[in-house]
Structure 1
Amino acid sequence: MEKNSTFIHSKLYDHYKDKVILITGGTGSIGSQIVCELVKYSPNKIIILSKDDTKQYLMKQRFKNFTNIYYLLGDIRDYQRVEYVSQGVDYIFHCAALKQVPTCEENPDEAIKTNLLGSLNIIEAAIKNKVKKVINISTDKAVNPTNTMGVTKLLAEKLFTQANFKLNNQHTKFSSVRFGNVLGSRGSIIPLLMDQLLNQKPLTITDLIMTRFFMSIKEAVQLTIQAGVYAEGGEIYILKMKALKLSDLVDSLIVLAKQKKLKEPEVQIIGKRPGEKLFEELASEYELNNMYENDEMYVISSRPPSNDIFKKSYLSDYRSDKVNLINQVEILHILKEHDRQ
């Protein structure tokens, strides 16, 4: 394992050393952690593009010792700004998006402007400026989508895949990574329920039999930056991950309450929100026919990857209700880690 870790670090270092890297949505949970990881590999410059000046200020304090990180205000909906910040860039990690299912459901026009038109701006700017690679951050909700957010992310995946075949694209490779739920990211369920538990409020649960794929922020970041190395254009990279059942999460929160000498929390079943499914999928039935794998990830590709670390996969489905579940010991560890933050 250690040898493999050293080998991967060496490949990442060789790939990102002295490069100029743009991260859209770079002040978010994922974007900021990508920065945290990339600085280990001696890039020439990391450019943060985001529209929240407060988050940029806080991030500047966090990374104040790094002189090669640049912070630019801007919105991916603004093509001129995106084109400007893409000049001289080698790699783009596209993290900026509207990600909350209820928000997108209530504001579909805004979801389209950010998740689709914003993605088109990234694509056109990258091609114009001859960026080497662009990695688009996607989600399991893009598979057989039932909500606006999932639909926009699926179409964004299609845009990035098709961008490899644009007539004016002679230099840029576009690929995507598909996440499950990221533990501890802003707006995710664990911070919400932990806040309710610690403040002695009822735990609001949509449905106890609901399952969700989960990955740590560290795993999400590693998947993303490794995809930046492996990408040949048109692939979708997916981490191999376990799932979490909401009933198991509730049971673990009750155990944690006892350990912290808090009163047992009340559980309120609020029902599925508009557009939610009882389980998520990370690959469609069609995509399973074009799936390859190594020990850590799957890759969906219309052609076999040239890298021999990937072999043909014969997975029959990839659903959150049919994979191994995170057990109570693991859940309690996750909850306690979050509590320490």
Structure 2
Amino acid sequence: MISEQEILLTGAGSVGQSLIPRLLERHPTRLRVLDNDESRLAKLRAQFDDPRLEFLVGNVRDGDCLERAMTGFDDVIHTAAMKHVDVCQYDPYEAVKTNVVGVQNVVDAAVDANVERLVFTSSDKAVNPANAMGTTKLLSEQLVAAHRARADHDLRLASVRFGNVINSSQSVVPRFAEQIRSGGPVTLTDERMTRFFLTYDDVFDLVSQSLERAYGGEIYVYKMPAIRIVDLANAMIEAIAPQYGYDSEEIEIELIGRRPGETFHEEIMTDREVDRAHETDSLYAIRPESVGDERGDGLEEFTSATDVVRSSGDAEKLTQTEIVSLLRESGLDGLLDDEPPAEARAPASPSVDGTLPSG
């Protein structure tokens, strides 16, 4: 589905950047990256040397820009968004302009440009949303589904919903690592917190499968492992502290209280969605209510989902040993090596607030 296609990727944040090399490995004819951060695009241009790769400065709030950006492209992967819970909570209208109006602009431009397929990257915070960011993601999922119900275009659409990506800019992993390097404490909002996690490879697998299966606004969800955040903190302390000359028992965990809009657990779908869910070994697919029993071209391999565990609080949790293995799988061997890095015990930057991920 990616090979020999012309693909537009909106957003060059941590998820968008992770998709670039993985998409290029699948041999697209052209990959254009649109982002509103000129400096970020300049760094990416210097990082990649590939004639198939283009960089375009633009904002998803600008419909005219999107119309120009999409002309001649086959597929769109939309990752551009405001993702930080606390930022969106402080100014919800800005989140609406990017996360809702921006999605509407992307879909409208895709329809006008005769794009074949569009995948929108959502969040598990769209499930029973407790904050402004999650609410905008939920509305965006519904916008994507509603567009497929229109009869005046052939665009195939899907949303993907996933949890926290190990070592992304919104993940606690780099925050915990920096706090451990500084000698602690590792700050945790509440010991009861649990989250779903996945790797960047999982994200690409989810996006690429959804791009291939996109049909009628379905929501695809990766089957993710759940982790107690306190177990993640302890696992990282045990694995990393010795590299920086600390005994793991020296690094304390400090409880600082929940932030506004933060939930104890994450959910992958609602009770109502469970009734419309289908599954494979690695994915759930949730059909929009508006399509009735129509399953579309992308769900032939799926069967009705059974025994869905919706909440990270109810899911079986990874052990600390399994957490370390997941970190290694995510390419974090540099943090977990037996030999300390050269900069160990160097003067550290001020400790950051290692609260739970916000996007």
On whether the aligned pair clears a TM of 0.5, the verdict is yes
- SS at 1:141's partner residue? helix
Q: Render the CA deviation track for 1:11-33: whole Å, top value 9, x for unaligned.
A: xxxx22221100000x2211122
> Number of paired residues?
324
Residue 319 of structure 1 aligns with which residue? Answer: 311
How many angstroms does 1:270 deviate by? 1.0
Residue 349 of structure 2 aligns with which residue? Answer: none
Query: Residues 231 and 320 of structure 2 are in contact (CA less than 8 Å); yes or no, is this contact kept in structure 1?
Result: yes
4+ aligned runs moved over 2 Å, structure 1: 256-261, 302-308, 332-339
2:73 to 78, 89, 113: 89
How many angstroms does 1:191 deviate by? 0.8
2:230 to 240, 247, 256: 247
2:153 to 156, 170, 181: 170
How many angstroms does 1:257 deviate by? 4.5
Higher relative contact order (CA 8 A, sep 6+): 2
Residue 42 of structure 2 aligns with which residue? Answer: 57
* Pair 1:124 & 2:115 matched: no
Structure 1 unaligned blocks of 5 or more? 1-14
Letter of the 2:332 partner, please give it.
H
Query: Residues 131 and 261 of structure 2 are in contact (CA less than 8 Å); yes or no, is this contact kept in structure 1?
Result: yes
CA distance in 1, matches of 2:265, 2:281: 24
* Pair 1:78 & 2:62 matched: yes
Residue 301 of structure 2 aligns with which residue? Answer: 309
Query: Residues 127 and 269 of structure 2 are in contact (CA less than 8 Å); yes or no, is this contact kept in structure 1?
Result: yes
* Pair 1:108 & 2:103 matched: no
CA distance in 2, matches of 1:298, 1:334: 21
Residue 148 of structure 1 aligns with which residue? Answer: 132
When the two structures are superposed, what TM-score results if normalisation uses the length of structure 1? 0.91
Query: Residues 24 and 95 of structure 1 are in contact (CA less than 8 Å); yes or no, is this contact kept in structure 2?
Result: yes
How many angstroms does 1:293 deviate by? 0.6
Q: Render the CA deviation track for 1:49-91: whole Å, top value 9, x for unaligned.
A: 0011121111112211x10111000010011101110111110
Q: Render the CA deviation track for 1:161-208: whole Å, top value 9, x for unaligned.
A: 1011235x3221111000111111112111111111112231110111
- SS at 2:236's partner residue? helix
Letter of the 1:313 partner, please give it.
A
* Pair 1:340 & 2:334 matched: yes
* Pair 1:283 & 2:269 matched: yes
CA distance in 2, matches of 1:273, 1:33: 28
- SS at 2:332's partner residue? helix
Query: Residues 149 and 216 of structure 2 are in contact (CA less than 8 Å); yes or no, is this contact kept in structure 1?
Result: no
How many angstroms does 1:315 deviate by? 2.8
Q: Are residues 286 and 143 of structure 1, via their aligned partners in 2, closer, same or farther at CA, if it must alter by over 3 Å? A: same
Query: Residues 164 and 170 of structure 2 are in contact (CA less than 8 Å); yes or no, is this contact kept in structure 1?
Result: no
CA distance in 1, matches of 2:237, 2:334: 18
CA distance in 1, matches of 2:45, 2:24: 14
CA-atom RMSD, angstroms? 1.6
1:202 to 174, 182, 185: 185
Letter of the 2:15 partner, please give it.
I
When the two structures are superposed, what TM-score results if normalisation uses the length of structure 2? 0.87
CA distance in 2, matches of 1:18, 1:202: 50
Letter of the 1:242 partner, please give it.
P
Structure 2 unaligned blocks of 5 or more? 289-293, 336-359
- SS at 2:122's partner residue? strand
Query: Residues 117 and 211 of structure 2 are in contact (CA less than 8 Å); yes or no, is this contact kept in structure 1?
Result: yes
Identity of aligned residues (%): 33
Residue 163 of structure 2 aligns with which residue? Answer: 180
CA distance in 1, matches of 2:304, 2:78: 28
Query: Residues 226 and 316 of structure 2 are in contact (CA less than 8 Å); yes or no, is this contact kept in structure 1?
Result: yes
